[in-house]
């Protein structure tokens, strides 16, 4: 008889668990995605974003992006902010100025005035004769 009672209690307790272990009816009903632990499971991805070309117009800001240049903590985007300026000119000055950004001091680079920027999201700017470009992370 003791064996029957112990067996019954073990069976009854097997169905018990914490709420964290039990699947939530709200997540099952909402169709929440689950992650498969099967390494051979198929993965269906979305569209791959286009890689930027040497000059990309940013429709939100109206700025033109001219590639990237090395900065003190990684690559920086070159953004034309004002004036009649080609990407080739901006890229050349940015390449010269890039190693100097870490000083945090204004610099003159090939006749361009470069230094820390007050524009949100732009680390540094260089300007000359009404033309200006910025370097942004």
Q: How confident is the model at residue 5 (pLDDT cuts 50, 70, 90)?
A: very low
DSSP line for 51-82: PP-S-EE-TTT--EEEEEEEETTEEEEEEEEE
Confidence of residue 123 (pLDDT cuts 50, 70, 90): very high
pTM above 0.85, yes or no: no
CA 35 remoteness from chain centre: 23
Cα(46)–Cα(62) distance, integer angstroms: 28
The per-residue pLDDT for range 85-114, each reduced to its tens digit, is 999 999 999 999 988 899 999 999 999 999
State the number of CA atoms in the 13 A half-sphere of 16 facing the CB.
5
Q: What is the pLDDT of residue 80?
A: 96
**Does position 74 have pLDDT exceeding 50, yes or no?**
yes
Q: What is the pLDDT of residues 12-61, one digit of tens each?
A: 444 555 445 444 444 444 444 445 465 565 555 544 444 333 344 444 44
Locate 37 and state its tokens.
């632990």
Average pLDDT over residues 69-78: 90
Distance CA 73, CA 108 (A): 21
Q: Which residues pair with 63 in a beta bridge?
A: none
């Amino acid at each position: 008889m003791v064996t029957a009672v112990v067996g019954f209690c073990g069976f009854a307790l097997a169905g018990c668990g914490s709420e964290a272990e039990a699947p939530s009816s709200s997540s099952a009903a909402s169709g929440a995605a689950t992650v498969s632990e099967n390494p051979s499971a198929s993965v269906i991805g979305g569209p791959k974003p286009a890689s930027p070309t040497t000059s990309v117009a940013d429709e939100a800001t109206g700025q033109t992006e001219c590639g990237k240049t090395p900065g003190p903590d990684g690559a920086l985007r070159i953004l034309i902010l004002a004036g009649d300026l080609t990407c080739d000119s901006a890229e050349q000055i940015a390449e010269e100025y890039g190693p100097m950004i870490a000083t945090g001091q204004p610099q003159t680079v090939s006749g361009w005035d470069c230094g820390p920027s007050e524009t949100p999201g732009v680390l540094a700017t260089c300007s000359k004769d009404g033309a200006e470009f910025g370097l942004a992370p």
